[in-house]
Amino acid sequence: MSDDDKIRAEALNWTLRVGDPAFEDWEGFTHWLDANPAHARAYDTVAAAVADGAELIAAAAPANDDVEPAIVPASPRRRAWLGGAVAASLLLVGGLWVWQAGSRDLYRIETAPGQVRSVALDAQTRVDLAGGTAMEFDRKDPRFARLESGQALFTVRHDEARPFRVTVGEDTLVDVGTVFDVRHDGEDFSVAVSEGAVQFNPKAQDLRISPGEMLRRHGKAGDYTLGKIAPAQVGEWREGRVTFEDTALDSVAADLARATGVAYVVAPGSADRKVSGSLLVAPLREDPAALGPLLGVRVRADGKRWVIGTP
């Protein structure tokens, strides 16, 4: 163990001891600090990290309802800790959750590439599925949808008492009176809002996405970035238009394949090349090669596929 590691381990131990409200050995602590000026620095580093973490966690969200009860049984005092009412409500939440999960009556809707389909969940709530999209809905709960893969535009009647929820992988979106577009391609994820607002992962990040904002994540563990998007551009695919702004060619190919039903693929080595442009989908169905001059790329036929690459 190097000296640094040793100091770090000692600093961690002191943080553990000093941080306890019952700690009294200030003399011993002072003694350790006296021994080496590096000790104070190491202690500050650990103590500050723990304080920062605790602050973020305290502010972020209460403990997950479904995690807490997992460790309950140890002793009857645990109940006193939670307080009767809280314990009861945790049970209730747990119960409801199980009941809901058990009683979901899901059905699946898929669209083929190039096909667009509209699903009305009630008189004022509609989900438009872009081509190449798979979704699940609940026969018993019209305020729920799951986007398995693809892209969908949600036009949702807001109901304070029963917010509309969309789950995408492990993420949850809750509407705050809304028109929003969600995409889930492989591991990539994005949500763009044109009206109202969407609450993203209320139990974790709890981030509000406002009109004209677009939240994106690249890859499963990637960072989220919040960018701007013209509200009119959100869901424009429904009118047969797609817009790319500095978009990598592999997503362009995937988007166009979905929108047109034409098998566009990206040429080897061109996946990361960025292009911009706004185009109508219908003409591409007639003439897939027309894409070339519109985006400044080279398009060539390869059997039934259309390969897009850098010129």
Partner 1 sequence: MPPAPPSSSRSGLEATFLENRDKLLHFLRARGAGDAAEDLVQEVWLKISRSAPGPVAAPLSYLFRTADLLMIDRFRSTRQSGTRERDWTEAHVDEAGASPEPSAERRLSAAQEAGRVLSLLESLGPRVSAIFRRHRIDGIAQKQIAAELGVSLSTVESDLRVAYRALAQWKERSDEA
Contact residues for partner 1, defined by CB under 8 A: 8, 12-13, 15-16, 18-24, 26, 29-30, 33-34, 37, 40-41, 43-54, 56-61, 63-64, 67-68, 70-71, 74-75, 77-78, 81, 201, 204-207, 210, 213, 215, 223-226
CA–CA distance, 256 with 264 (Å, rounded to integer): 7
Kindly provide the b/e burial profile for residues 65-82, where b requires at least 16 CB atoms within 10 angstroms of the residue's own CB: beebeeeeeeeeeeeeeb
Q: What angle do CA 9, 68, 169 make, to 5 degrees?
A: 95
Q: What angle do CA 234, 273, 299 make, to 5 degrees?
A: 90
Which residues are within 8 A (CB) of 240 and not within 5 positions of it... i.e. 6 or more apart? 280, 281, 282
CB of 107: closest distance to partner 1 in angstroms? Answer: 32
* Cα–chain center distance at 305: 32
**In the 8-state DSSP scheme, what is residue 101?**
H
CB of 248: closest distance to partner 1 in angstroms? Answer: 20
CB of 36: closest distance to partner 1 in angstroms? Answer: 10
* Residue nearer to partner 1 on the CB measure, 35 or 106: 35
* Residue nearer to partner 1 on the CB measure, 45 or 149: 45
Beta partners for residue 237, in sequence order = none
Q: What angle do CA 117, 118, 124 make, to 5 degrees?
A: 175
CB of 204: closest distance to partner 1 in angstroms? Answer: 4
* Residue nearer to partner 1 on the CB measure, 78 or 108: 78
* Residue nearer to partner 1 on the CB measure, 118 or 225: 225
* Residue nearer to partner 1 on the CB measure, 222 or 296: 222
CB of 169: closest distance to partner 1 in angstroms? Answer: 14
CA–CA distance, 14 with 12 (Å, rounded to integer): 5
**Helix and strand element counts for the chain (H, E):** 8, 18
* Residue nearer to partner 1 on the CB measure, 89 or 205: 205
CB of 218: closest distance to partner 1 in angstroms? Answer: 14
